[in-house]
Structure 1
Amino acid sequence: MQLKNYHAVVTGAARGLGAAAARRFAAEGARVVISDLDGDAATACARGIDASGERVTALACDIADPEACTRLVDHAEAFFGAPIDIFLAHAGVGFAGSLIEAETAQIRRVVEVNVLGSIYSAQAALRSLVRSPRASLLFTSSLQGVTARAGRSIYTTSKHAIVGLTKSLALEYGPRGVRVNAIAPASTDTPFLRKQLAVAGAKDVDQAVREVAASMPLGWLPTPEDFADAAVFLASTAARSITGHNLLLDSGAAAGIFRSSQAR
């Protein structure tokens, strides 16, 4: 019960990594507000964790809309009857493709959600977090927040921005008692990854996932549960002196050149 009586909000939490973090926060004793653009899926996730609705609730929210972010924070404070202690800004979108072939709408959506959405949600959350004695603002960055990949320039740019935002806010709000950190996962075996691989042309998605895992120095992909463990650690008192940090959750991928699958 590392987060007993904490109050947590997770965006992009209807499924995947966000849902895993929300489940783990609740299991560690926190009350949780689950937010997602897909309100029905967010509600289903919340009910799956706490059917009574007393400890976990949900709200639809488009983080690219600053007014929606303010409503989310107001809703959370009303549900908790107290300020937010943990805000995990996880919501984001992916994009793979050549920059010169990308449509303006595609570029705009990545920037609006990943960059502006993170800023808007942090802006709203910080108004509440500064009133908590144990405040932790967490972002989801990416391995591509510290490295780069060909054909991912737009997404990589958006995730590098998250790392800069994390460091800057840590300096700005540390004196006010708010710790700010990011988690930077590599590819994880989620429906999101499998969809990306299918779109990229993989005929056998299971085999494609195995090949991605084999390319990692450890030989496996991080799991949603690994992500949840990292989030709990950074939000807990065990990390009380950690701020401005981008925690790599990458099976060693950032250490150097990835192995080929044949190397195993």
Structure 2
Amino acid sequence: MSTSAGDVKCKRLEGKVALVTAATAGIGLAIAERLAQEGANVFICSRKQSNVDETVSALRNLGLEVSGCACHVGSAEQRRRLVEQCVQRYGGLDILVSNAAVNPGAGPLAETPPDVIDKILDINIKSAVLLVQEALPHLIQRPGASIVFVSSVTAFSPPEPIAMYAVSKTALLGLTKGLAAELGPRGVRVNCVAPGIVPTKFSAALVQTPELASAQAEATLLKRLGRPEEQAAAVAYLVSPDAAYVTGETLVVAGGMHSRL
């Protein structure tokens, strides 16, 4: 866990219910922890129930209100059950953070096998849209509801060897704009966070040697890699009342790395 519950003083999310996918490690875990620190009741998921149980226990030991269940976001039945269990546990849903993603293969775009393309598009884009559809009937009932997609700074200039993954993250920028236009009149804000290079298990290939990690750090204006809690702070802002007039935006949290399409 990144911090103790006492380290975050503001309680902008008191009385809110947040659902965070892929939240038992890395950036997702940091987001779940931060939202709970700010007063939200947080429901998490991961593919393995054992990981969910361990994370819920650890966060509750920090005095945070967290529950969760196993969910493979590529399954329609498991998505339905995820939202249903969250609403049953906490009585509603105010915040959806769509963080789940896969990168089953690496290499040039022109050589990416069809099965790798299918899996990336299915989980990183299709499942994100369908999860919103599942959650929307609950979100529109709550004033100040919001959705945040977790993209990547690589969305702006997809690099080899993770270009196909990065292209799926580019799609989330468009999804954010499109949903924000549709859902704004219904009272739901939709935004996106594009993290830079944050050393986690998921990004291990980008920082697997000291030389690679140093090169990634040099690509930033701050000359360092990011931390999960810095991404979590950005998400906490976007789902809070402080961002009540912010929708359709992508907040790049990447230490000044290039981030323009």
- More displaced, 184-193 or 14-23? 184-193
Does the Cα contact within 8 Å between 2:207 and 2:216 map onto a contact in 1?
A: no
Residue 154 of structure 1 and its aligned partner are, at CA, apart by 1.4
Tell me which residue corresponds to 2:31: 21
Tell me which residue corresponds to 1:72: 82
Does the Cα contact within 8 Å between 1:213 and 1:220 map onto a contact in 2?
A: yes
Shift in alpha-carbon separation, 1:100–1:46, aligned structure 2, 3 A: same
Tell me which residue corresponds to 1:225: 229
Unpaired runs of at least 5, structure 1? 199-204, 257-264
Counterpart of 1:253, as a letter, is M
Tell me which residue corresponds to 2:183: 173
Aligned-pair identity in percent equals 33
Tell me which residue corresponds to 1:62: 72
Give the CA RMSD over aligned residues: 1.9
Tell me which residue corresponds to 1:262: none
Count of residues in correspondence between the two structures: 249
Residues 145-165 of structure 1: CA distance to partner in whole angstroms, max 9, x if unpaired? 222223333112211111111
Residue 217 of structure 1 and its aligned partner are, at CA, apart by 1.6
| Structure 1 residue 144 corresponds to structure 2 residue 154 | yes
Residues 108-151 of structure 1: CA distance to partner in whole angstroms, max 9, x if unpaired? 11111101111111111112111111201110011122222233
The 5-angstrom pairing of residues 13-162 of structure 1 reads 13-51=23-61, 55-81=65-91, 83-94=92-103, 95-162=105-172
- Give the distance between the partners of 2:151 and 2:64, measured in 1 at CA: 31
- Give the distance between the partners of 1:64 and 1:8, measured in 2 at CA: 20
Tell me which residue corresponds to 1:202: none
- Give the distance between the partners of 2:204 and 2:154, measured in 1 at CA: 18
Does the Cα contact within 8 Å between 1:65 and 1:120 map onto a contact in 2?
A: no
| Structure 1 residue 248 corresponds to structure 2 residue 248 | no
Tell me which residue corresponds to 1:261: none
Tell me which residue corresponds to 2:214: 210
SS of equivalent to 2:202: helix
Counterpart of 1:249, as a letter, is V
SS of equivalent to 1:253: coil
- Give the distance between the partners of 2:111 and 2:178, measured in 1 at CA: 33
- More displaced, 186-195 or 168-177? 186-195
TM-score by length of 2: 0.89
Shift in alpha-carbon separation, 1:53–1:123, aligned structure 2, 3 A: farther
SS of equivalent to 2:164: helix
Unpaired runs of at least 5, structure 2? 1-10
| Structure 1 residue 7 corresponds to structure 2 residue 24 | no
| Structure 1 residue 237 corresponds to structure 2 residue 241 | yes
Residues 176-219 of structure 1: CA distance to partner in whole angstroms, max 9, x if unpaired? 11000000011112122224544xxxxxx244323311221211
- Give the distance between the partners of 2:112 and 2:156, measured in 1 at CA: 22
